Amino acid sequence: MRALLSAYDRTGLVDFAKVLAAKGFELLSTGGTAAELKNAGLDITEVANVTGAPEILDGRVKTLHPRIHGGLLGKRSNPAHVAEMKEQGIEGIDVVVNNLYPFQQTIAKPDVTLDEALENIDIGGPAMTRAAAKNFPDVVIVVDPSDYSVVGDMIANGGVSMDQRRKLASKAFQHVAGYDTLISAYLREPEATGDDKTALFPEELTFGWNRVAIPRYGENPHQAGGIYVTPGESGGIVNAKKLHGIDMSYLNYFDADAAWVAANSFESLGQHCVSVVKHANPCGLATDYNQAEAYRKAYAGDTISAFGGIVGFNTVVTAETALAMKGVLYDNIVAPGYEPEALEILSKRKRTRVLEVQPSATPLLNVRNVTGGALVQQPDDIVEDPSSWKVVTKKQPTEQQLSDMAFAWKACQLVHSNAIVFAKNSMLQGMGAGQPNRAISVYLAGRAAGDEAQGCVMASDAFFPFPDGIEGAAEAGAVAVVQPGGSVKDQEVIEAADRLGLVMLFTGTRHFYH
């Protein structure tokens, strides 16, 4: 019996190799793996002694040889294969341990060169892993150190079952597929960030994600769920550090991300931003130069919906803010950090999850599953300049209205369409979301704002096809409207705004968020 061990991640490998040696396996290895195993006192046969050929081209070619791949691919149940292997002097290889060069870690380095990245693309490893996985009835392939224990126990107690061999082979092919996906994305990225849509959306597209958690269930108890991270990404909600509280659920991740994104969408203002999210929509949102005041304003936006919601911060939570939150039940609190006294206060909440989150890179693509496939698009992350917006009414905006419209317009991007936002003094006063009729969203936003709707600005994520939305805004108490424009009835809508004494600006850009 022979085992070929060649792994970049050698966590636990020495102990596993000792299990194999104790069962009488001859251990084959290469390079650094061989050196580490020899230093541990194991008897190792160099692959070069098996192939009769030295490692060449700076180690680029070492296992790519018929005596290695023949030993991996030869079917023991096929008499012709067995005879040919004997004729060629090829011995079978029964166990392979392999994982690949650190391509992701390499390209994550600042100022990494293309040459350095290319040198960390593994060739022999994937070929060897795929060959072993293809022939899994005869060859056990292990790519994950966490599998050493169960495989070692099976080998020590009679052999690896066929079911386990198949699982290991599946994991091996996925390991290589994820690796190849990283390489493809890296080589495609310079073109994909330009205007070439064929580069951004290639004919074949895969995504390589790594599982970080399995919650108790998905959106509902009868649905299973899994949480995955983008390889190389250390920020964002899926990588959050839980400082206190019970385990995260599937929807906790979903809503916490909405709160985190919302709170970090106003960084250009240079103020504290606090979001309160319920069912992925911000029901409270505000900015202020004082964090505790920003929280109080966000909470006041909808004190009823805030119950059981998620609170997001874009700055380190202070003790003053933690005290201001007293008495309100929240499922999650997300922030880039917490003052020690603030964490002590928040840790008294038995169930509330307190998460420390770091910034993450904007995804290159957004993906949504639909029947038969997926919808893929660029994220809605364009930079907009409010000074470029067009005033289309006779009445001109005040500086305060312009400021409130900039806030409302950004807030509107965070609400599911048909999205309507009422805002005043950098504070969300009311919103309408998810309605099939935009006028209904206006009504709901105005009703949610109540008396505070007086003097508000209103933002709409898309144009108004009829004047009724504008009329509803005025009836609720709004004094200004910001919207994309572009309807065939824009002129009727403008005339309605003029008749009602409203200010209205067109942005020229819409922000649907379904």
Same domain assignment for residues 427 and 468? yes
Does 202 fall in a domain?
A: no
Q: How far apart are the C-alpha atoms of 128 and 29, rounded to whole Å?
A: 12
So what's the pLDDT on residue 192?
58
* DSSP strand pairing (480-483 vs 503-506): parallel
Same domain assignment for residues 179 and 65? yes
Q: What is the domain extent for residue 270? A: 242-356
Same domain assignment for residues 173 and 248? no
Q: How far apart are the C-alpha atoms of 192 and 90, rounded to whole Å?
A: 46
**What is the phi/psi pair of residue 233, to 5°?**
-90, 130
The CATH number covering residue 46 comes to 3.40.50.1380
Q: How far apart are the C-alpha atoms of 39 and 27, rounded to whole Å?
A: 14
Could you say which of 186, 214, 234 is where a domain stops? Answer: 186
Does 247 fall in a domain?
A: yes
Same domain assignment for residues 287 and 391? no
pLDDT in tens, the chain (514 residues): 899 998 888 889 999 999 999 989 999 998 888 898 999 898 899 888 888 877 778 778 877 888 889 999 999 889 999 898 898 888 999 999 998 878 888 888 888 888 888 988 888 889 999 999 999 999 999 999 999 999 999 998 888 999 999 999 999 999 999 889 888 888 887 665 556 777 778 888 888 888 999 999 999 999 999 999 987 788 999 999 999 999 999 999 999 999 999 999 987 778 999 999 999 999 999 999 999 999 999 999 999 999 999 999 999 999 999 999 999 999 999 999 999 999 999 999 999 999 999 998 877 788 988 989 999 888 888 888 999 999 999 999 999 999 999 999 999 999 998 999 999 999 999 999 989 999 999 999 999 999 999 999 999 999 999 999 999 999 999 999 999 999 999 999 999 999 999 999 999 999 988 8
Confidence (pTM): 0.85
3-class secondary structure, 486: coil
Active-site residue, 134 included = yes
First CA to last CA distance, the chain:
58
Does 205 fall in a domain?
A: no
Does 204 fall in a domain?
A: no
Active-site residue, 175 included = no
Domain count, the chain: 3
So what's the pLDDT on residue 191?
62
Same domain assignment for residues 455 and 345? no
Annotated catalytic residue: which of 134, 167, 171, 395?
134
Same domain assignment for residues 332 and 391? no
Annotated catalytic residue: which of 18, 171, 279, 489?
279
Could you say which of 356, 375, 410 is where a domain stops? Answer: 356
3-class secondary structure, 290: coil
Same domain assignment for residues 127 and 44? yes
Q: How far apart are the C-alpha atoms of 288 and 439, rounded to whole Å?
A: 31
The amino acid sitting at 104 is: Q
The CATH number covering residue 441 comes to 3.40.140.20
So what's the pLDDT on residue 389?
96
**What is the phi/psi pair of residue 240, to 5°?**
-60, 145
Does 19 fall in a domain?
A: yes
The CA-atom distances, in angstroms, between 9 and each of 16, 100, 109, 145 are 13, 8, 18, 8
Does 347 fall in a domain?
A: yes
Q: What is the DSSP string of 307-354?
A: TTEEEEESSPBPHHHHHHTTT--EEEEEES-B-HHHHHHHTTSSS-EE
Q: How far apart are the C-alpha atoms of 310 and 136, rounded to whole Å?
A: 47
So what's the pLDDT on residue 190?
67
Same domain assignment for residues 15 and 164? yes
What's the token pair of residue 126?
């994937």
So what's the pLDDT on residue 62?
78
Who's near 7: CB < 8 A, 6+ residues apart?
13, 33, 97, 98, 99
DSSP bridge partners of 99: 7
Does 500 fall in a domain?
A: yes
Same domain assignment for residues 416 and 349? no
So what's the pLDDT on residue 199?
74
Same domain assignment for residues 161 and 274? no
Does 195 fall in a domain?
A: no
Could you say which of 186, 215, 233 is where a domain stops? Answer: 186
So what's the pLDDT on residue 194?
58
Same domain assignment for residues 351 and 419? no
DSSP letter assigned to residue 362:
P
Same domain assignment for residues 435 and 334? no
